[in-house]
Amino acid sequence: MSHHIVEVDGLNYRYPDGTPALHEIRFTIRHGEAVAIIGANGAGKSTLLRHLTGILVPASGNVRVGDCPVLPSTLRQVRRTVGMVFQDADDQLFMPTVYEDVAFGPANQGLPPPDVEKRVADALATVGCSHLRDRPPYRLSGGEKRAVAIATVLAMIPDILVMDEPTAGLDARARRHCIGLLKAFAHTRIVATHDLDLALDVCERVIILHEGRVEADGAAQAIFRDTALLERCHLEPPLRMQGCPCGGKLGAA
């Protein structure tokens, strides 16, 4: 299934004001992989994600999604393959009701109404929000908005899911729910996040960005144990791997 592959090769990007953002980024993500892209603030995570969906065009280098390079002429194909969940769910939910919002993508794909209906019902059921279908998005809580935003993308049946900070601003329970969803998907998943415990839970592979470069790319467990590397990139190990300092002290005493 070669069309689930994401290949980034020598990607460079500068912001319009000249600030360098990405430098010689290179990696390949294979079918069904779940990859976390982590890094400090301003490391270039969001900028990288924007290249994967063709929102930004590289200054040099290539991005390939499946069999086709991301170019202005292939954007329709790319956007059909890659579903992007935005950091701020409010940016993603622009229709008057949840139903219409989830139906937006499938309807634009030109599906007949019964199929659209089924897609919406399935997507909402997957994220556990079927009861919200007739509510306007601005009346939803943060967790509900996030789940519905994921449903809007799922309804388009993308091969690859790209998410920017899926757990930002969620309470503990909504975060758990979101992580559960991500783990359950069989899609190729690319998740940019500061939530390293999420990365540890969902992703077997981690790519660390530091000042616009790929600083490390490998198995999550190995990378999170490399404290020197994490420190160099202004990161800390996931809380779960930090041990309990309080328990340690008590043990020593």
61 part of the interface to other proteins, by CB under 8 A: no
Q: Does 94 bind other proteins (CB under 8 A)?
A: yes
Q: Which of 136, 142, 169, 238 binds other proteins (CB under 8 A)?
A: 136
Query: Residues 47, 81, 92, 188: which binds other proteins (CB under 8 A)?
Result: 92
Q: Which residues pair with 13 in a beta bridge?
A: 22
Q: How many residues touch other proteins (CB under 8 A)? A: 31
> Rounded to an integer, what distance in angstroms lies between the CA atom of residue 145 and that of residue 88?
9
Residue 80 binds other proteins, judged by CB under 8 A: yes
The residues, ordered by sequence, that sit 6+ positions from 113 with a Cβ below 8 Å of its Cβ are none
Q: Which stretch binds other proteins (CB under 8 A): 92-100, 174-182, 218-226, 233-241?
A: 92-100
| Tokens matching residue 162 | 């790209």
Nearer to other proteins, 3 or 26 (CB): 3
DSSP for residue 194: S
Among residues 153 and 208, whose Cβ is nearest to other proteins?
Answer: 153
The residues facing 208 across adjacent strands are 38, 216
* Cβ distance to other proteins smaller for residue 82 or 179: 82
Taking the CA atoms of the chain, what radius of gyration do you get in angstroms? 19
Of 61, 60, 29, 86, the C-alpha closest to 207 is 29
98-110: b or e for each residue (b if 16 or more CB lie within 10 Å)?
bbbbbbbbbbeee
If one asks whether residue 10 binds other proteins (CB under 8 A), the answer comes out as: no
Asked whether position 109 contacts other proteins by CB under 8 A, the answer is yes
Nearer to other proteins by Cβ, of 137 and 212: the residue is 137
Instruction: Decide: is 15 part of the binding site for other proteins (CB under 8 A).
Output: no
Supply the minimum distance, in Å, between the C-beta of residue 216 and other proteins: 29
Backbone φ, ψ for residue 8 (5° rounding): -115, 130
| Interatomic CA distance for residues 231 and 224, integer angstroms | 11
What is the rounded CA–CA span in Å between residue 189 and residue 154?
12
At closest approach, how far in Å is the CB of 103 from other proteins? 7
Q: Does 83 bind other proteins (CB under 8 A)?
A: yes
- Residues of the shown chain interacting with other proteins in the complex, contacts defined by CB under 8 A: 53, 55, 75-76, 79-80, 83-84, 86, 88, 90-92, 94-97, 99-100, 103-105, 107-109, 136-138, 152-153, 156
